[in-house]
Structure 1
Amino acid sequence: MKLRGIGRSRNIEDRRGRRGVGRAKIGGIGLLLLLAVGYFTGLDVTPLLEEQGGQSNASRPISAEEERAAEFSAQVLTTTEAVWTQIFDQQLGRQYRPPVMVLYSGVTQSPCGGASGATGPFYCPADSKAYLDTEFFTTLSQQLGARGDFAAAYVIAHEVAHHVQNELGILPEVHRAQQSATQVQANALAVRLELQADCLSGVWARAVGNLLEPGDLEEAVNAAQMIGDDHLQRRAGQVPQPHTFQHGTSEQRARWFATGYQSGMVQGCDTFNTNQL
């Protein structure tokens, strides 16, 4: 992705450099397993991480790799602000209010609960902030097989898409419906919500087409496939259980991203009024 000349967003809350949790006591394989369980099941395993190392408010040096990840994240966020400001105006006749992105290291707190590498990147509608531990990019590339800078950009765009859903009233409506639904019904609604966010990520990708490099779209599609529920359950040695899915299959996630990219229209991302996910 060609980001040279793209400025850093001002909507960044930088909490890095704080020693939120010690991780050293967990072995490498054990840590990866713990993070995977938390991220892909939606369970908050922050307390388990805290037990391993304890909390501290002491500061620590920020590595060059972390700084590069932060710079990249802030630049990608800038592109989402430009894209959604224009789309809200031209397609929806509304004003876009961008989210704040919280960059942190290890563990932090949000109104939606504890945030850590175990929860993965997520959007909290309570404070309209997207939370990102920049170390997740390493996990995405090295452990999940979703390599490339545009794979990381897709993840950021996906979380911003949840903010778009919140701005449009979709997110709170789905959350209200989930409260009175069975677990299976709530999961099905979550899948539609996530697939719509994938589609909206595709809308963003089309709008930043002048910044794309050869292979970028393939990186995003591969990332979508690598984090499909069925793929992750198979990778964990399980038989895929569709009624437990909360994000969609690899095929669905990749297809809805492509749908958004091809149409470039928000109205083309209505995953709630279709029988074909």
Structure 2
Amino acid sequence: MRLKNVRRSQNIEDRRRSSAGGKAGVGGVGLLVILAIGYFAGIDVSPFLEQAAAPQSSEPRELTAAEQRAGDFTAKVLGTTEQVWDVLLPEQAGLEYTPPKLVLYSGVTQSPCGGASGATGPFYCPADEKAYLDTDFFATMAQQLGAGGDFAAAYVVAHEVAHHIQNELGILNEVHGLRQQSDEVTANALTVRLELQADCLSGVWAHYVDGLLEPGDIDEALNAARQIGDDTLQRNAGRVPQPHTFTHGTSEQRSRWFATGYKSGDMRSCDTFNADRL
């Protein structure tokens, strides 16, 4: 992705200088692998987190060169989402776009939705309208999940911003209400539709930044979507895939819905809640 002359977003809250930088007992990347598997595969990872728990240092620290590069990259990708949705949300949904803050942290942090270490990787918190990202997750994707490439990382940022779009549209609140009234299997099915819609909206964003893309970028995003499909992650964790536990969709579904948004550039193509086929 060509980001050399792209402006950095100012909506970045960088907590990494004061973050713990990972838990003792399990290295920062190792912790992220545990959390990512738990989040994407629906596996209870609390025993691993309990084993990893240790006192945290609150001493300020300098960012590494890799962290500085990751922060700059993330700020620029977030800037592209603002440019796209500033135009697209009013144009296609009749709403003014208020961008989210993106919190960068290292190891652990807190949010109104709970501790980031318990939220397992990147997440969006509607309570404060902020997305949370440990930038080490990019390395985890490349080295542990088989989802490398700069546009795979950009897809992660765009996916969390897509959850903010859903919040702006009132979809998150509506789905939350329906989940509260549902059994676990139905609630999971609703969450799958929510996540696939976010994948599709990420694809819509990709459609409008096409001029910044390099050969192979879309393939990187599609591969990332496949690698973090529920079935693939459960299989890689040594489990037989259990569809009733899925919360994000299969590899095929995630990549197909991203492609749908990318090809159409139209938010209306992302109505997963009324789709007969996911």
- State TM-score, norm by structure 2: 0.94
Alignment deviations for residues 232-253 of structure 1 (CA, whole Å, 9 cap, x no partner): 1111111111000000000000
Q: Which residue of 2 aligns with 1:235?
A: 236
Cα deviation, residue 101, structure 1: 0.1
Q: Which residue of 1 aligns with 2:2?
A: 2
Q: Contact conserved, 2:29 with 2:137, CA < 8 A, in 1?
A: no
Q: Following the alignment from structure 2 to structure 1, what is the Cα–Cα distance between the partners of residues 50 and 105?
A: 15
Cα deviation, residue 57, structure 1: 1.6
Relative distance call for 1:22 and 1:251 in structure 2 (3 A) is: closer
2:7 corresponds to 1:12: no
Q: Which residue of 2 aligns with 1:185?
A: 186
Q: Contact conserved, 1:154 with 1:220, CA < 8 A, in 2?
A: yes
Secondary structure of the 2:25 match is coil
Secondary structure of the 2:103 match is strand
Question: What is the CA RMSD across the aligned residues, in angstroms?
Answer: 2.1
Q: Contact conserved, 1:34 with 1:118, CA < 8 A, in 2?
A: no
Q: Following the alignment from structure 1 to structure 2, what is the Cα–Cα distance between the partners of residues 32 and 108?
A: 13
Secondary structure of the 1:107 match is coil
Q: Contact conserved, 2:22 with 2:106, CA < 8 A, in 1?
A: no
Q: Following the alignment from structure 1 to structure 2, what is the Cα–Cα distance between the partners of residues 153 and 16?
A: 19
The one-letter amino acid paired with 1:9 is: S
Alignment deviations for residues 98-139 of structure 1 (CA, whole Å, 9 cap, x no partner): 000000111100000001387100000000000000100000
Bigger relative CO (Cα 8 Å, ≥ 6 apart)? 2
Unpaired runs of 5+ residues, structure 2, are none
Cα deviation, residue 51, structure 1: 5.7
**What is the percent sequence identity of the aligned residues?**
65
Q: Following the alignment from structure 1 to structure 2, what is the Cα–Cα distance between the partners of residues 51 and 142?
A: 21
Q: Which residue of 1 aligns with 2:137?
A: 136
- State TM-score, norm by structure 1: 0.94
Secondary structure of the 1:272 match is helix
Alignment deviations for residues 29-64 of structure 1 (CA, whole Å, 9 cap, x no partner): 964653344332376859936963212221122100
Q: Following the alignment from structure 2 to structure 1, what is the Cα–Cα distance between the partners of residues 45 and 113?
A: 11
Q: Following the alignment from structure 1 to structure 2, what is the Cα–Cα distance between the partners of residues 151 and 185?
A: 30
Aligned residue pair count:
277
The one-letter amino acid paired with 2:142 is: S
Q: Contact conserved, 1:196 with 1:269, CA < 8 A, in 2?
A: yes
The one-letter amino acid paired with 1:18 is: S
Relative distance call for 1:69 and 1:179 in structure 2 (3 A) is: same
